[in-house]
Structure 1
Amino acid sequence: MFGVGKTEEVRNLKKLPKGMSDFRQLREWNCVYVDKTKYIYNMVEDNKYIFLSRPRRFGKSLMVSTLYYLFKGEKQLFEGTWIHDKWKWEEYPVVRLDMNNVETKSTELLEKSLSSRLREVAQSYNLEMTQDTVSEQFYELVSKLSEKSNKPVVLLIDEYEKPILDHISDKRKASQIREVLRGLYGRIKSLDSYLRFVFLTGITKYTKAGVFSTLNNLNDISLDAPYSQMLGYTTEEIREYFPEYIDRACDELGVDEEYLLNQLEKYYGGFSFDGKHFVFNPFAVLLFFEKKKFLPYWNDTGAPKFLYDYLRARSVRLEDVLKKDLRISYMELTSREIEESVVKSFLVQAGYLTFYREIDEGLYELRIPNLDAGQSLAQMLLELNYGLEPDELNEVGPRIKEAVKKERVDEFMRGLKEILGRMSYRLGERLKTIQHEEDQHERLKRIEAHYEMVISGILYGGGVHHEVEREVAGGIIDILIENNGVVWIIELKVDQSAQKALDQIKEKKYYEGFSSKRCYLIGVSIDSRERNIKEWVYEVIDGSNGSKGVEVRL
C-alpha cells in the first residue's frame, strides 16, 4: 500500500510518452516532453527547405507532429516550452504525408495509395481535385491550398524513402519505386512560390541524383553540429526531465545515479551524428524507465526486415562491421543510392554504426553505438555467417553475461567454448582461404584476428559491453571488458599455449593505467584444427593493493 505522500507523488508524476508520435496527445495526456523547440525555432528561422535523416525510433515522427501543430498555430499546446513566447503564432495550411502509411507492393499500388492520401488532405480543406497523376495531383493540391487560404503552405513528409526500403534487396523494384517518388518530390521546387516551409525526414540520406535530384536548394542538416542533438536525449536532458524516474530505477535496482546513467549509456547511448556530440535513443530510455531492466528494447521492437535482407543479399561479414579503425567519408554517405551503398554507409544510416569521432573534416571513425544496437546486429550476422540461430545464442549468452557480472572466468570461457562448438563447421568453411596462407606467421595472425571478431560478435550478441584491439602503453589488447570497476584483459593465441598469451599480457603490462577494483589477465589458446578454444589460464590483480591472485589453468 502506498502512503498518502507516495500516492500524491504517483498522481503528479508525468507519464512516459512510450511510442507516442502525436504532439497534441503527448501534451494533453500530461506526458514528459523533452523540450526541443529551441532547435525548431532556429531551424525554421534560418531555412525554408530542410532534410533530416535519423535511425528508426528516434523521434522523427514526433518532430513532424510538433511542426504540424506549431504551424497550425496551436499555441496552448506549447505552454511552458522555450518557443511559447517567441514564435509568431499564425495558422498556415499544412500538407503532411507519412510514407509509412502507403502501399508499396507495386508501383501501381503505390501511386494509388499516394493519390488517396493526397485526396484525403484535399478533402480536409474542402478542395476539389481534378488531376489524374500523382505528380499533378500533388502540384494541384499545394497550389490550390495556397490560393484558397491566401497563405503559403507548409509541407511535411515523414520517412520519404520507406517505399524504397521495402524493396532494398530487389534493385529493379527499388528503382521503379524511386521513379514514382521522384515524380512526386520533383514537383516541390516548382511549387516554391506556394510554400512557407518544407521538412522531410528519412532513415537514409538522400543523394544528389536520387529522388530529390531537381530540388537543389534542399538543406541536409543530418550531420550539422547545431542540430546533432535535436533528436534523441542528452545526459543532461535525462537528468533534467526524468529525475523521479531515475530515483525509482536506482531504488529498485539498488544502484546510485552515476552507475545507472553509465549503464544507460552502455545500453542505449553512444549515438553521434557529427562525431562530437552524443545522444541516447529516446525510445529505449523510455522503456527502461518503465520496466527498470537493462534489455535490448530498440532491438526487441523488431530489427527492420530491410536490414536483414540487405545483410543477406550483400553477404556482409562480421569483420566488415567489428574491425578496428572503421572509417567513412561524407562522400561515401551521399554518393550512392541506399540499395547501392557500401555496407558501412548503410549501417551508419540505419543506426547500427555511429560516428565515434571526426578524424578530419568530413572523415569519421565508426563504432557500434551501444549494446542494444550491437546485440541486434551481431545476432543477425552470426546467423547469416555461421548458422548460429538467435535461440542458441539467447540460451548461452545470458550465462556469459552473468559470468562477467559475477567475475566467474571459467564459466565465461566455457560459455564461449560452447558457442564456438556450435559454429565449428561454418567456422571451418570461413577459415579455408586463410589455412592456405604459405607464411606461417601471417596465417596464425589472420586466424587470430578472425577469432577475435567472432568472439566479439558473441559478446555483443550476448549483451556484454567490450572493446577489441584497445591501444594501451604496452601494446594492443585483443579484447577488453570493463564492468562495474572490474577489468578483464583477454589475449588470444592460435596453436600456441595459453600461458604464452598470459605472459604477453604481463610482460607488456597491459593492465597498467586501469584504476580498477580487480583486473583479470586471461590468456586463451585456440586450436585451429578443432576450431575452438583449447585452454585458458588467468591471474587476478587486486587493484586496491596490487597483489596477484592464484594462477588458474584449464
Structure 2
Amino acid sequence: MNESLTVRNFVAGIEDFEELISEKVIYIDKTSYLEDLIKRSHVALILRPRRFGKTLSMSTLSCFLEMNYQNPEDRSRPERLFKDLEVSKNKAFCDEYMGRYPVISLTFKDVEGANFREAVNRIIAVFARLARKFDFLTKKDNLDTSFLRRIRDLNDGKMPVFGSDGNFDGVNNNLILDFLANLSDCLNQAFNKAPFLIIDEYDVPLQKARKHGYYDKMLIVIRGILSSALKSNSSIKKAFVTGCLRIAHQSIFTGVNNFKTYGIQNEFLSGFIGLTKDDTIKLLEKCGLESCISDVSEWYDGYNFAGNDMLCPWSVLNFAGDALGSRNPAAFQPHNYWANSSGNDIIEICMKHPGGKDLDRLQNLMEGKTEEIALREFTSYPDITSNTDFDTFATLMLHTGYLTAVKDAVPSEKNRAVVRIPNKEILECFSNKVKTLFSESNPEWKGMSQELRESLFAGNAAKVSEIINKMLQAFISVRDFGSEGFYHGFITGVLGITAGSPKELKSNREGGNGYFDLAIMDERISAAVIMEFKISERIKASVRKKECIEALNQIERNDYDCEFRDDYDTIKKFGIVFFKKTCEVMEKYQLDKTSE
C-alpha cells in the first residue's frame, strides 16, 4: 500500500491471490505469517467465520509454495507475486520454500446439491479440474495416472458414478475417496518431493448436506477423502484445511497424526485471517477516509480472536470501495454487507426457539448485553432446528461470526465462554430478522394478530390475555424490552398487521377529557375497541387485576368513548396491564360483572 488508493483498487469477491496482485486490487499483507504457518504445522485445521478471507489466505499460501512444474528451477512467478511483500524480506525462508514444492489446492466452498447425487457430482467436478491441471503427469514414465483419466470420464458422464440401485458404484467410490492420495503419490514420485495439500472450506459439503437431508452419506465421503489423503500418507509434506466449524476429531479426522486445530480462541495465527484494527486504520488512512474510522469500527469491529481485535475484511473492503466511488467519500455511511452474503437462516431458526429462558438470553444479546454459554463440541454438523438448545445455537453462531467472545471476560468454568453480538452490522442482521419474523410476512404471526383482533371485537378478555401472553413469550424486541412505550408499540404493531387501512387505528389520540392509548375500529361491523395500558411492577396477579380495574375506570372517568358513540353501535373497552412478558386483561363487561 505504497500509493494512494482509488475505487479501482477495490473489486469485491476476488479470492485468487495471483489475480488480485496482477489486477492491482487491494491486498492487506499477511505474508509475515507464512513462516509460522508452514514450519509449525503438519496437519492444520484453521477455523474462521465466513467472509473473513479463508479462501484468499489459502490461495496466497498456494502461490507462495507452488513450483513451476515444467521448469522447477524457475521461481519467477512467486518472485513477481510476492515482490515487496513482507515475506520477501525473509530470504532464507523464501529460498527454502518459495516456489519449491508441488501443491494440491482445492476448495469445497461450491459443493452443494439438493440431493446426494448432485453434491457428489460437484466434488467430482472439483477433482476433474485438478486432473486437467496435472494432466502433464500422464506423459511421465513409470507413473500410474489412470485415475486422472477416469475422474475426468466420471465428470464427463462417460462412466457411471452411481449404480442402478442409486448407491455408489464400488470401484468409482474408491476412485473418488482415494483421488487426493493418488495424486499426491504421483506428484511425490514425479518430483521426488512430497506436495503440500490445501483443502479450503472442508465443512461446506457437510453443512449443505445437513440442510438437504443427506448428511450421513456425505459424511462418509468427506471422511473417506480426508482419511485417505491425510492418514499416514507419506506422500504429503504438510496439509492445511480450513472451515467454519470443527467436527470432532474422532468423527471426521480419524487417525490423522500431528493434527492441530487453530480456531478463533487460539493465539497462534490469530491475526492471520481477517483485518486487525491496525490493518484497518492504515487502509482507511491510505484511502483518505480517516474521518470514517469511528463509524467503521462501530459497524465492523468487535471480533475477538484470542485477544486480537479483528474486523471482517469483506465488510471493510466493500465499505472502502463504495465510499471511494461515492460523491462525498468522507461522508459515506456504513452499509450492511454481511447480510447480503447470506440468508442468516440460523438467526431466524434461533428466534423461533420455544424456550422462554432462551429467548430472554437472545433478547439480552440484542440489547448489547453478554451471555455465558457452554461451548459445544460437535460430533457431527449440528442439525439446527427450533428444538436445538440455546448453547448449541450460540456455539454455532460464535464459529460463524454472529457472536464473539468478550475480551478479557472470565467464564465461570472450563469449556464455557462469555459472548456478545460483535457490532452494528451483525446486530442489524438480527434486527432485520426480528422485523421479518414478527410481521405480516410470517403467516403464523399474522394468524395470531388476526385472532387477537377478533377476540378484542368479541369482548373475550380471557382469549385476548391468552393471545397477548403467547405473543409476548415468543417476541424479541429490537428496542429495550419493557421500556416506556414498548408495550404500546408492540400492541399497535400487532394490530397494525390486521388493519385494512391506517384509519382503523388511533394511537395516543385525544378523547373526552384526556388521551386514550389505543383504539381500533371496524366500520363493517360498526364496532370500536378502546384500550388503556398500564405497566405493573408487581408480580402478584391480584394486584394487577386491580390495576386493570383502574385502567377501565380511567376510560370511563375521562369519557374516552365520546367520539365513538355516534358512529359505532358497539364499543368494547379493555384495561391491559403488563408485567415483563405477561399481561392481565379485563373488559368493561367483565368489570361490570365484578362490581355487581
Relative to the length of structure 2, the TM-score reads 0.60
Matched, 1:107 2:116: yes
Match among 171, 179, 186 for residue 137 of structure 1: 179
| CA RMSD across the alignment | 3.7
SS in 2 for 1:75: helix
Shift of 1:196: 1.6
Match among 324, 328, 350 for residue 400 of structure 2: 350
How far apart, CA to CA, are the structure 2 residues paired with 1:113 and 1:119?
10
Instruction: Report the AA paired with residue 351 of structure 1.
Output: G
Matched, 1:220 2:222: no
Match among 229, 238, 246 for residue 280 of structure 2: 238
Match among 14, 26, 30 for residue 36 of structure 1: 30
Instruction: Report the AA paired with residue 269 of structure 2.
Output: Y
2:101 alignment counterpart: 92
Matched, 1:62 2:56: yes
Q: Give the direction of change, closer, same or farther, for the CA distance of 1:68–1:11 in structure 2 (3 Å limit).
A: closer
How far apart, CA to CA, are the structure 2 residues paired with 1:16 and 1:116?
30
How far apart, CA to CA, are the structure 1 residues paired with 2:111 and 2:474?
46
Contact preservation (8 Å) 2:482, 2:580: no
Instruction: Report the AA paired with residue 339 of structure 1.
Output: D
Q: How does 1:457-536 map to 2 (within 5 A)?
A: 494-495=535-536, 527-528=577-578
Contact preservation (8 Å) 1:38, 1:83: yes
2:200 alignment counterpart: 158
Shift of 1:151: 1.2
1:365 alignment counterpart: 418
Shift of 1:193: 0.7
Match among 315, 318, 322 for residue 291 of structure 1: 322
Matched, 1:379 2:436: no
SS in 1 for 2:109: helix
Shift of 1:382: 4.8
**Which protein, 1 or 2, shows the higher relative CO under an 8 Å CA cutoff with sep ≥ 6?**
2
Shift of 1:119: 3.0
Q: Deviations over 1:127-156 (max 9, x none)?
A: 433362211223222212221222111111
SS in 2 for 1:278: strand
How far apart, CA to CA, are the structure 2 residues paired with 1:309 and 1:12?
38
How far apart, CA to CA, are the structure 1 residues paired with 2:270 and 2:372?
19
How far apart, CA to CA, are the structure 2 residues paired with 1:153 and 1:346?
33
Q: Give percent identity, aligned residues only.
A: 19
Q: How does 1:396-407 map to 2 (within 5 A)?
A: none
Contact preservation (8 Å) 1:57, 1:298: no
SS in 2 for 1:58: coil
Q: Give the direction of change, closer, same or farther, for the CA distance of 1:304–1:159 in structure 2 (3 Å limit).
A: farther
How far apart, CA to CA, are the structure 2 residues paired with 1:125 and 1:365?
48
SS in 1 for 2:214: helix
2:309 alignment counterpart: 278
Contact preservation (8 Å) 2:371, 2:420: yes
Shift of 1:63: 0.3
How far apart, CA to CA, are the structure 2 residues paired with 1:213 and 1:119?
26
SS in 2 for 1:193: coil
Shift of 1:426: 7.3
Q: Give the direction of change, closer, same or farther, for the CA distance of 1:428–1:387 in structure 2 (3 Å limit).
A: farther
Q: How many residues align?
A: 402
Instruction: Report the AA paired with residue 230 of structure 1.
Output: F
> Which range moves more in the overlay, 161-170 or 193-202?
161-170
Q: Give the direction of change, closer, same or farther, for the CA distance of 1:52–1:30 in structure 2 (3 Å limit).
A: same
Shift of 1:367: 0.4
Contact preservation (8 Å) 1:158, 1:202: yes
1:82 alignment counterpart: 86
Q: Deviations over 1:420-441 (max 9, x none)?
A: xxxx99764244699xxxxxxx
Shift of 1:284: 0.8
Matched, 1:182 2:254: no
SS in 2 for 1:267: helix
Where do 5+ consecutive residues of structure 2 fail to align? 68-77, 138-144, 148-170, 324-331, 443-464, 490-533, 539-575, 584-596
How far apart, CA to CA, are the structure 2 residues paired with 1:355 and 1:530?
28
Q: Give the direction of change, closer, same or farther, for the CA distance of 1:268–1:46 in structure 2 (3 Å limit).
A: same
SS in 2 for 1:528: strand
Shift of 1:325: 3.9
How far apart, CA to CA, are the structure 1 residues paired with 2:474 and 2:201?
42
1:488 alignment counterpart: none
SS in 2 for 1:201: strand
Q: Give the direction of change, closer, same or farther, for the CA distance of 1:531–1:335 in structure 2 (3 Å limit).
A: closer
Q: Give the direction of change, closer, same or farther, for the CA distance of 1:455–1:15 in structure 2 (3 Å limit).
A: farther
Relative to the length of structure 1, the TM-score reads 0.64
Contact preservation (8 Å) 1:107, 1:180: no
1:339 alignment counterpart: 383
> Which range moves more in the overlay, 38-47 or 13-22?
13-22
How far apart, CA to CA, are the structure 2 residues paired with 1:426 and 1:273?
44
1:47 alignment counterpart: 41
Matched, 1:301 2:340: yes
How far apart, CA to CA, are the structure 2 residues paired with 1:532 and 1:295?
38
Q: Deviations over 1:301-358 (max 9, x none)?
A: 23246536753785586434342441235x5245663336711111111110101134
How far apart, CA to CA, are the structure 2 residues paired with 1:233 and 1:24?
20
Instruction: Report the AA paired with residue 224 of structure 1.
Output: N
2:562 alignment counterpart: none
Highest CA radius of gyration, 1 or 2?
A: 2
Shift of 1:157: 1.0
Q: Deviations over 1:52-105 (max 9, x none)?
A: 111111111110110110111512101111111322223322222211233433
Instruction: Report the AA paired with residue 383 of structure 2.
Output: E
How far apart, CA to CA, are the structure 2 residues paired with 1:93 and 1:213?
25
How far apart, CA to CA, are the structure 2 residues paired with 1:11 and 1:530?
52
Shift of 1:532: 12
Shift of 1:23: 0.7
Shift of 1:272: 1.3
1:408 alignment counterpart: none
> Which range moves more in the overlay, 155-164 or 191-200?
191-200
Q: Give the direction of change, closer, same or farther, for the CA distance of 1:287–1:137 in structure 2 (3 Å limit).
A: closer
Q: Give the direction of change, closer, same or farther, for the CA distance of 1:298–1:216 in structure 2 (3 Å limit).
A: farther
Q: Give the direction of change, closer, same or farther, for the CA distance of 1:13–1:212 in structure 2 (3 Å limit).
A: same
Contact preservation (8 Å) 1:270, 1:280: yes
Q: Deviations over 1:428-479 (max 9, x none)?
A: 4244699xxxxxxxxxxxxx99647x979x9xxxxxxxxxxxxxxxxxxxxx
Match among 131, 148, 152 for residue 122 of structure 1: 131
How far apart, CA to CA, are the structure 2 residues paired with 1:198 and 1:124?
19
Q: Deviations over 1:154-198 (max 9, x none)?
A: 11111111112224445x522322222111112133353111221
Shift of 1:527: 4.7
SS in 2 for 1:132: helix
Q: Give the direction of change, closer, same or farther, for the CA distance of 1:449–1:284 in structure 2 (3 Å limit).
A: closer
Instruction: Report the AA paired with residue 328 of structure 1.
Output: I
Q: Give the direction of change, closer, same or farther, for the CA distance of 1:187–1:432 in structure 2 (3 Å limit).
A: closer
How far apart, CA to CA, are the structure 2 residues paired with 1:12 and 1:383?
37
Q: Deviations over 1:354-397 (max 9, x none)?
A: 0113415654210000011111123224534x34659xxxxxxx
Contact preservation (8 Å) 2:47, 2:246: yes
Contact preservation (8 Å) 1:234, 1:278: yes
